[in-house]
Amino acid sequence: MVTACSVSGGTLAFGNVATGTTTTTSGTSNNVSVTCPTPYSVTLGQGGHWDSTNSKFQVADTNGNLIGYRLSDTSGNTTWENPTFPGSPNPTTLPIYGILDGLTNGQPAGSYTDIVQIQVNY
């Protein structure tokens, strides 16, 4: 018998952040919904602009300007830890929070984006 699992998510937005902000800014949480009848874990990809030197996600504007951020599974400043779940035929809601650690490189105003893959392992 083949087990089918499903995942759905949406957009995480940081909103407007003033240029020169040096304090930590948390984005709104985005709930990811997973339905999987067997035990599973959830991992996140590195996004389209991963900074391997500093091990962090980055959002980019259309001119290639980058801003680093982290993802968390709590509203605090902890890092996403690839949680494991026992499995359920009912949807499980997983919050994902985005954290900007301040804009220190003079990034210009604009719209910055990234795409992060959500993977369900079962």
Q: Would you say 112 and 88 are in contact if contact means Cβ atoms under 8 Å apart?
A: no
What pLDDT is stored for residue 96 in this prediction? Answer: 82
Q: Is 68 a member of any domain?
A: yes
Number of domains into which the chain is organized: 1
Residue 28 binned pLDDT confidence (cut-offs 50, 70, 90): low
75 Ramachandran zone, left/alpha/beta (phi>0; psi -120 to 50): alpha
Q: Is 108 a member of any domain?
A: yes
Could you list the residue range(s) of the whole structural domain that residue 99 is in? 6-121
Residue 83 belongs to domain with CATH number = 2.60.40.1090
Higher per-residue confidence, 23 vs 99: 99
Q: Is 53 a member of any domain?
A: yes
- 68-115: pLDDT as tens digits: 888 887 766 567 766 667 777 788 888 888 887 767 667 787 888 888
Q: Is 1 a member of any domain?
A: no
The pTM for the full model equals: 0.77
Q: What is the mean pLDDT of residues 26-38?
A: 80
What pLDDT is stored for residue 86 in this prediction? Answer: 73
Tokens of 26: 């948390």
Q: Residues for the chain: how many in total?
A: 122
What pLDDT is stored for residue 56 in this prediction? Answer: 82
Distances (CA, A) of 11 to 19, 22, 28: 22, 24, 9
